Amino acid sequence: VMSDIVSYSVRHSRTPLVEQRQDFAEIEFAIDRALGIGEFRLAYQPQVELATGQLAGIEVLVRWDDPTRGQVSPLEFVTAAEATGQIHALGLWIIEEACNQGQRWRDTLLGAAALSVNVSPVQLKAPDFAANVRAILGRTGFPPDRLVVELTESALVQRGDPGFETLWELHQAGVRIAIDDFGTGYSCLAYLRDLPVSFLKIDQSFVRDLPHNESAAVIARTIVAMGRGLGLSVVAEGVETEAQADFLKGIWCNKAQGYFYAKPLNSAQLAGWAELGASP
Ligand code: C2E
Ligand code: MG
Ligand code: MG
Ligand code: MG
């Protein structure tokens, strides 16, 4: 583990190694403490059905307000937790907390919507990941078909890789799978054929330049056409303007999420947002 951490540090920063080693030891300690005292919390960002404006889903995003560091970006502490192995405990806590919240919302604001959780490639490699998810679903009572696991292309696996079985096990349990940040990784379309994927999420870097940038428009159109052709539901991420939303609706993209609809909210704010009606 230490060598992973050190090689991570070397790749990601210019601070001298000794200092970095100390930084990582510190962050490892801080993450443990935060897990112990319940300092992590979840934010919820709604996804809407473009055709109707109805709530279609909710993405769960982890947040950490560290007393000394302040708001730490998940990109930062998730990466650190991957290097130390703490992502396994943190990741399962996130899923259990999300399912508990989802269960409380089930007969009210959730309606037919699903709850999406982000899962790191490291979590997927744990041989007991699918069994742990099934156990959480059993304990919380949250229906498996309301849970979506979001994976980036870097987590995607080929037949024979350790994560391949995990994804099929999740699918057999009824959990659905989304490809996050689609188009930004090393896209290998074979996984769309070989894995039980239900959702494609168009990365926000493609959405940002819509509708006027011709390349962005072609890429968005192509992803939607391919996704829909394969029977998948396509979700646009990072929608910030009405013009982007209108364009995506016009090319028959299924769902959208982004600041145009709502920022990631706490549970009370999300309930308030849903009460006002999903469309802005
Ligand atoms: P992601 O899963 O692709 O999440 C989307 C990110 O875009 C979130 O950043 C969200 O707050 C942000 N976002 C949403 N709408 C807009 C918009 O309209 N404009 C812009 N500019 N940004 C928008 P966040 O929460 O900082 O998360 C960053 C990344 O960290 C996530 O990317 C995901 O890869 C990772 N992450 C977040 N929560 C978790 C988690 O619970 N577990 C794991 N393993 N990774 C997580
Ligand atoms: Mg995501
Ligand atoms: Mg994304
Ligand atoms: Mg991302």
Using the mean position of ligand 2's atoms as its centre, give its distance from the Cα of residue 180 in Å: 5
Question: 118 pLDDT band (50/70/90 cuts)?
Answer: very high
Q: What is the pLDDT of residues 34-54, one digit of tens each?
A: 999 999 999 999 999 999 999
Of all protein residues, whose CA lies closest to atom 25 belonging to ligand 1? Answer: 61
Of all protein residues, whose CA lies closest to atom 13 belonging to ligand 1? Answer: 238
Residue 14 pLDDT > 60, yes or no? no
ipTM: 0.97
Q: What is the pLDDT of residues 187-217, one digit of tens each?
A: 778 888 889 999 999 999 999 999 999 999 9
pLDDT at 141: 98
Residue 155 pLDDT > 80, yes or no? no
Mutate to test the pocket of ligand 1, among 48, 61, 199, 273 (most ligand atoms within 8 A of CB): 61
Q: What percent of the chain has pLDDT over 90?
A: 75
Using the mean position of ligand 4's atoms as its centre, give its distance from the Cα of residue 174 in Å: 25
**Where does the chain show beta strands of DSSP type E?**
40-49, 55-66, 70-72, 114-118, 147-152, 176-182, 199-202, 233-236, 255-256
DSSP state of 238: -
Ligand 1 atom at minimum distance from 257 CA:
15
More confident residue, 19 or 48: 48
Using the mean position of ligand 1's atoms as its centre, give its distance from the Cα of residue 42 in Å: 12
Of 14-18, 166-170, 191-195, 276-280, the least confident:
14-18
